[in-house]
Amino acid sequence: MSSFILDGKQIEFKQGQTIIQAAADHGIDIPHFCWHPSLSISGNCRVCLVEVERMPKLVIACSTLAAEGMVVHTNSEKTLAARNAVMEFILINHPLDCPICDEAGECKLQDYAYQHSVGESRFTEEKMHKDKRVELGPHVMFDGERCISCSRCIRFCDEIAGEPQLTFVQRGDRVTIVTYPGKELDNPYSLNVTDICPVGALTNRDFRFKARVWDMSSTKSVCSGCARGCNTDIWVRSNEILRLTPRHNEEVNSYWMCDEGRLNTFKHVNSESRVSGPQIKRDGKLNKSNWDEAYAAAFGELKSYTKDEIAFIGSAASTCEDNYILAKFAKTVIGAKHIDFPRHIKAGDQDNILIREDKTPNALGAELAGIRPAADGLTFHAIMKAVDEGRIKALYVVEEDLVGLNPAYKETLRKLELLIVHASNYNETTELANIIFPAATYAEKNGTWVNFQGRIQRIRPAVTTIEGDRSLDNLAMSRLDKFGTEFDRWGNVKKMDARPVWKIISGLANTQSGKFRYSTSEDVFNELVKSVPDFSGLDYDVIGEKGAALKKFVNTKTV
Closest alpha carbon to 67 in 32, 10, 16: 16
- Alpha-carbon span 347 to 477, nearest angstrom: 39
- Alpha-carbon span 21 to 65, nearest angstrom: 9
CATH for 2-91, among 3.30.1490.20, 3.10.20.740, 3.40.50.1580, 3.65.10.10?
Answer: 3.10.20.740
- Alpha-carbon span 333 to 513, nearest angstrom: 8
- Alpha-carbon span 273 to 431, nearest angstrom: 12
pLDDT tens digits, 429-462: 999 999 999 999 999 999 999 999 999 999 999 9
Domain 279-553 has CATH 3.40.30.10: no
Partnered with residue 457 across adjacent β-strands are 449
Q: How far is CA 392 from CA 13, 343, 386, 417, 471, in A?
A: 65, 20, 5, 9, 37
Work out whether strand 285-288 and strand 310-313 pair parallel, antiparallel, or are unpaired. Answer: unpaired
8 A C-beta contact, residue 421 and residue 397: yes
Burial code (b: 16+ CB inside 10 Å, e: under 16) for 308-342 equals bbbbbbbbbbbbbbbbbbbbbbbbebbebbbbbbb
Which amino acid is located at 488 in the chain?
Answer: D
What Rg value do the Cα atoms of the chain yield, rounded? 27
Tens of pLDDT along the chain (559 residues)? 799 999 999 999 999 999 999 999 999 999 999 999 999 999 999 999 999 999 999 999 999 999 999 999 999 999 999 999 999 999 999 998 999 999 999 999 999 998 888 777 788 888 889 999 999 999 999 999 999 999 999 999 999 999 999 999 998 889 999 999 999 999 999 999 999 999 999 999 999 999 999 999 999 999 999 999 999 999 999 999 999 999 999 999 999 999 999 999 999 999 999 998 999 999 889 999 999 999 999 999 999 999 999 999 999 999 999 999 999 999 999 999 999 999 999 999 999 999 999 999 999 999 999 999 999 999 999 999 999 999 999 999 999 999 999 999 999 999 999 999 999 999 999 999 999 999 999 999 999 999 999 999 999 999 999 876 443 344 444 444 444 443 443 345 678 899 999 999 999 999 877 689 999 999 999 999 999 999 999 999 999 999 999 988 876 655 5
Domain 102-108+123-209 class?
alpha beta
pTM of the model: 0.92
Using the Cα atoms of residue 460, residue 462, residue 465 and residue 471 in order, give the sign of their dihedral: positive
Segments making up each domain of the chain, as ranges: 2-91, 102-108+123-209, 279-553
- Alpha-carbon span 141 to 121, nearest angstrom: 28
* Residue 173 CB partners (closer than 8 Å, separation 6+): 93, 128
C-alpha torsion 155→160→161→163, nearest 10:
50
